[in-house]
A and B are shown apart, each in its own frame.
Chain A
Amino acid sequence: MAIQPPQSAAASAARAWIGFLLLLLAQFAVRPLISARASVDFLVIAVLFAAVRMRPGLAAVVGFGAGLAVDALVPTAFGAAALAFTAVAFVASRVKAVFFADHVALTALFVFVGTLLFDALNAAFSGGARGSDLVVQLLLWTPLSAALTAAVAVLLLTVFRPLFRPASG
């Protein structure tokens, strides 16, 4: 039985930040290429994967920063993404012991629920869509986006496991 060498906390944190930066770049470099109504939200994956490695307070700060970056690019709803990301990151960090077990299906469910929560909060606070548009957004496009994001998250976790899997022990 192979015994994994113990990882230092600094190396693990460095890998986590590299993974976060790569996902941040993917959000702004890859997502526009595959832009559609239901698209992958790489920033949600980055925030969720970072949040499970941090304390809830620090996760909230990271979520706030990521949300502020999104808001700065969409000034009409300035603050909405920051609010949603703060809440999602804090909750994700709180429930990491429950959801982020070493199980693919649970990870997918974690990302799916996180994306749903973020989209719902973002839609509620941004005030862009109203009435039937909001219903269609929340009942159709948000679940589709969440499912797509969860699938990509599982794929990334499988392919780039050292970057996104928290250090055991």
Chain B
Amino acid sequence: MARSVRGGGRLDTGLLVTCLLLSVVCVVMPQRFRDSVSAALRQTVLFPLVVLEGKATGVRATISARDELLATRAQAITDTLSLRAVTDENTTLRRLLGLSARLGDGFVVAEVLPRRGTNEDFRMTLSVGSRAGVEAFAPIVTADGLVGMTERVDSNTTFAITWASPDFRVSGMSETGSAFGIVQAHLGAGAERLLLELRGVPFREKLDSGEVVVSSGLGGTYPRGIPVGRVIGEITTTEKWARTYLLTPSVLPAGIGPVIVLRSARGLRGVNTIWTNVASADSAARAIAAAGDSVARLSAMAELAARRSAVDSAVTDSLLRDRLLSTPPTVRSPMTRVDSARADSVRRARLDSMRRQAPSVPPRTGPPPALELR
């Protein structure tokens, strides 16, 4: 028994020593032998394991690539959304720039400050105040139309209500001026809360769906011609003697970015054609760019001056001729064509007689004399 144990121990030791020696030989053998031995092992005994490891590594690479793909896709979506936001803001600013150009002067541009409380759904705070010229009860507009009205004005801050406020009222009319009424917030539930209604329209007046409602200018706060909303349809109310229409507001809450506060002087001068006559804000932007070009402005002024001088000289010549002839300017109507020959002969005879009586007028070579037109 002891001999077998000793024999087993010798065998174990021998195997251990052999394996250790082989391992040491593997460690110390030259590189090319190592490579050839390892290559032979990889291509024969270990080939299935090499293939298995390669496939597992491929699966891992696929998983990693999918993660990267998802991350890239998420980044692309984020970039697209931010790009869209930037584009929208750019469009809004361009349109506001166009509106500013059309208004010319008498307004204050303001930023809407972030909401500070939960009860500010229908109110907003502007970044400018009385120092910038903002007045209380002044209309607030964007390039799309009416936003609201200023309420309280501090030196640097303005508090305003939007059209969605229950306190908001504006006298409105159809764009054609055929129907008048009072526009106020539609106090419905849910999404309908963000609609307007035009109340008190005479029963005989009917508005079509899609018709634009603008401020009528009555009441003095809002000048005539600011778009307020667009007719959705008529709603039934208890007022049987008048119609009430539901309107989509011209300025949606999400679209309120930078705004313009109109000053009272600008309102008195009227804004009737600001939103209606100019087809596109881009043209206004181009006009701004052209106006900013001093060379273009100078050439335009020179052309205008030349036209004025030409018109003046023409008027001067005719007045001078009329004074010299002492005859009132004749307006020839088509019906007097039959007598034209006789009239010309009479005028020629008169001219001849004048030439004989009055000294001759030398031909004018210099600038026309200044004449007072009455």
Most buried by B among A32, A33, A72, A86: A72
Contact of B50 among A30, A67, A73 (CB under 8 A): A73
Q: Nearest-CB distance from B152 to chain A (Å)? A: 63
Contact with A along B25-63 (1 / 0, CB 8 A): 111110000110111011001100110110111011001
Q: Taking the complex as formed, is A118 at the interface, i.e. its CB lies under 8 A from any CB of chain B?
A: no
B20 touching A86 by the CB < 8 A rule? yes
- With an 8 A cutoff between CB atoms, is A58 at the interface? yes
A79 and B41: CB pair below 8 A? no
Contacts of B265 in A (CB 8 A): none
State which residues 100-155 of A face B: CB under 8 Å. 125
Does A98 count as interface, using CB distance less than 8 angstroms? no
Q: With A28-B49, A75-B35, A82-B23 as given contacts, are A68 and B41 in contact (CB-CB < 8 Å)?
A: yes
Q: Closest CB of chain B to A61's CB: distance in Å?
A: 6
Q: State how many angstroms separate the Cβ of B41 from the closest Cβ of chain A.
A: 4
From 1 to 36 in chain B, residues with beta carbon under 8 angstroms from any chain A beta carbon are 8, 11-16, 19-20, 22-29, 34-35
| Contacting pair B59 A83 (CB below 8 A) | no
Chain A residue with minimal CB distance to B23?
A: A83
Could you tell me if B34 and A75 are in contact, using CB atoms closer than 8 angstroms? yes
B61 to chain A, nearest CB (A): 9
Contacts A61-B15, A64-B19, A72-B41; A28 near B24 (Cβ below 8 A): no
Residue A14 is within 8 A (CB to CB) of chain B in the complex: no
- CB B240 to nearest CB in A, in angstroms, measures 78
Question: How far apart are the CA atoms of A73 and B45 in the complex, in Å?
Answer: 12
Q: Which residues of B contact A29 (CB under 8 A)?
A: 52-53, 55-56
User: What's the least CB distance linking B50 to chain A, in Å?
Assistant: 7
Residues of chain A contacted by B35 (CB below 8 angstroms): 75
Tally B residues with Cβ within 8 Å of A: 36
Q: Across the interface, name the chain B residue whose C-beta is closest to A82.
A: B23
Q: Which of B61-84 contact A (CB under 8 A)?
A: 63
Q: How far is the CB of A74 from chain B (nearest CB, A)?
A: 8
A residues 55-76 with Cβ under 8 Å of B? 55-58, 60-61, 63-64, 67-69, 71-73, 75
Complex alpha-carbon distance, A82 and B34, angstroms: 13
Alpha-carbon separation in the docked complex, A73 to B52 (Å): 12
The A interface, classified by DSSP as helix, strand, loop or mixed, is helix
Chain A: residues with Cβ within 8 Å of the partner, total of: 33
What residues on A are CB-neighbors of B15 within 8 Å?
A: 56-58, 60-61
**B-facing residues in A15-63 (Cβ within 8 Å):** 24-25, 28-33, 35, 55-58, 60-61, 63
| B56 x A30 contact (CB < 8 A) | yes
User: Residue-by-residue, is A82-103 near B (CB-CB < 8 Å gives 1, otherwise 0)?
Assistant: 1100110010000000000000
Query: What B residues does A69 contact at CB under 8 A?
Result: 41, 45-46, 49
**Bound complex: CA of A60 vs CA of B52, how far in Å?**
26
Residues on B with C-beta less than 8 A from A35 are 60
Q: Are B37 and A78 in contact (CB under 8 A)?
A: yes
Say yes or no: B19 contacts A28, CB within 8 Å: no
A83 close to B24 (CB less than 8 A): yes
Closest chain A residue to B58, Cβ basis: A32
Interface residue? A163 (CB, 8 A) = no
* A60:B12 contact, CB within 8 angstroms: yes
Residues of A within 8 A of B20 (CB): 60, 83, 86-87
Complex: A35 Cα to B34 Cα, angstroms: 26
In the assembled complex, the CB of A113 is this many whole angstroms from the nearest CB of chain B, namely 19
Query: Once the chains bind, are B41 and A56 in contact (CB under 8 Å)?
Result: no
> CB distance B42 to A86 under 8 Å?
no
Known: A57-B15, A69-B46, A73-B50. A64 touches B23 (CB 8 A): yes
B37/A60 in contact, CB under 8 A:
no
Q: Taking CB as reference atom, which chain A residue is nearest B8?
A: A55
- Which A residues touch B25, using CB under 8 A? 79
Interface centre among A31, A55, A56, A60 (most CB of B within 10 A): A60
A125 to B22, CA, bound (A): 14
* Nearest chain A CB to B67 CB, angstrom units: 13
Contacts of B41 in A (CB 8 A): 68-69, 72
Q: Which residues of A contact B (CB under 8 A)?
A: 24-25, 28-33, 35, 55-58, 60-61, 63-64, 67-69, 71-73, 75, 78-80, 82-83, 86-87, 90, 125
- List 9 A–B pairs whose Cβ atoms lie within 8 Å, in order of A's numbering: A28-B49, A30-B56, A33-B63, A57-B13, A60-B12, A60-B19, A73-B53, A83-B24, A90-B16
